[in-house]
Amino acid sequence: MEKKQGGITLIALVITIIVLLILAGISISTLTGNNGILKQAQEAKVQTEKSSLIELIQIDIVEAQTNTNGDITKKQVKDILDEYFNNVPEELPDSIVDLELIAKDEYGGYKIMGSEIYSGDLSEKIEPGSTLAEKITSINYGDYINYNVDLSIDGDQDGDTTDIDDWRVFYKDENGNVFIIAADYVPTTNPILDNALNQIGIINIGKTYPIRWSLNNSTASEIDTNVSNLFKFGFNYSNALSNYNMRLTSKLLDTNIWSGFAIGAKGATAIGGPTLEMYMSSWNEKGYTKLYCNNSTNEGYYIGTSDSPTDSYISIKSDVNGYGDTLYYPHKSEYDNSCFGYWLVAPSVNNQEESAREQYAIDCTGEVLSVLYHTDWYAVRPLVCLPSGTQGTQDENGTWQIQQ
């Protein structure tokens, strides 16, 4: 009997090929289609890289906020964005959520919306609780503060090159009041100072800074208890109101006379200079040679480095760091423009005659000393109290900004 030959018919072969082609098409579509495995893998890679970039930027933002107690400025955000993106606007809007940012090539060139990075407000608004008193410590004494009263002080005078030269942080008390002081001696050409001095009486000696008091027709007024407590004036001078230095002290503590310097912030109060107590408190908190005063007499203060001083003069020049601190000795060049230093709001025990007891002054040679009230060698550095609750923050340049 003859055997049948086994094999694949042509029809079966064609069907097999068709099936294989269908399966191949399905596989290729699964890999490369619009929703294929390769596309999904590529999208996952892009999303991972974008997420990593966003996380990197957010870490930089959080770090910036950590360094400024939670606040961040437009400039800080712009500096961070400039590092990663090509198309950051020169001036950021108050919110970046609607910005479409294009990453630099080295960061993948991805499009990232600002809302994915930071949704906070950049309008420079300072949130409640961000008071100056909560942020400022003795480390900040001497920092510049952008206070809206122009004293026309030249930055070169006080040894710095900053553009904001007029005011510096001087002291913070236990009640949350922050005190600021003129960065340097106020020129006698300043209209606010001129108005104040006219109310007290001076003799124009034709120099840029120093003044000579003329108090012959000026009587002493009672010092307001609230003002003396606020500005740390602890001397009871009720038994010596007739003395000229007591008259000058009362005028220097008269907030009405010096109100022109208080217009830079709501609720601010100003006097004609730091009191002896405030000068010592600020100086001592900075860690310099400790100073004490004695206000137990009926004539004025003693000052020294012992806890019961009996002199009205002390030299601090040997404390190199303290004397080198321009917050306390702004002019260290000898007798610049015939100005030796600035007045303190403090009468001295020292007297040469009953009617002419002396006033304390800070001398550019590194001395705290008593001098006759009509001496024409010393200038004025007004002191302003920013009341408790005044809000503000420190910008990237280290200058404090007040929030009105």
Residue 2 lies in a domain: no
288-319 pLDDT tens trace? 999 999 988 878 899 999 999 999 999 999 99
CA–CA dist 14, 7 (Å, integer):
14
Across-strand partners of 145?
A: 400
- Do 120 and 215 have their domain in common? no
Is pLDDT larger for residue 113 or for residue 352?
113
Whether residues 111 and 137 share a domain: the answer is no
Per-residue pLDDT reduced to its tens digit, 129-176: 478 998 999 999 999 999 989 887 765 444 444 445 789 999 999 988
> What is the structure's pLDDT at 266?
87
* Domain shared by 253 and 311, yes or no: yes
255 and 310 in a single domain? The answer is yes
Do the domain assignments include residue 1? no
Same domain, 27 and 171: no
Number of domains making up the chain? 2
Q: Does residue 147 sit in the same domain as residue 83?
A: no
Let me know whether 245 and 356 are in one domain: yes
**Could you read off the pLDDT of 237-271 as tens digits, one per residue?**
776 666 778 888 889 999 999 999 999 998 999 99
User: How many alpha carbons lie under 13 Å from residue 28 in its C-beta half-sphere?
Assistant: 6
- Which tens digit of pLDDT belongs to each residue from 284-296? 999 999 999 998 8
Q: What confidence category does residue 31 fall into, taking pLDDT thresholds of 50, 70 and 90?
A: low
Same domain for 104 and 138?
no
Q: Are residues 158 and 100 in the same domain?
A: no
Range of 388's domain? 132-403
Structure tokens at 281: 């408190």
Of the two residues 158 and 194, the one the predictor is more confident about is 194
Mean pLDDT value across the chain: 83
What is the spatial distance between Cα 48 and Cα 41, in angstroms, rounded to a whole number? 10
Mean pLDDT of 175-202: 89
pTM of the prediction? 0.68
Which one of 125, 153, 174 terminates a domain? 125
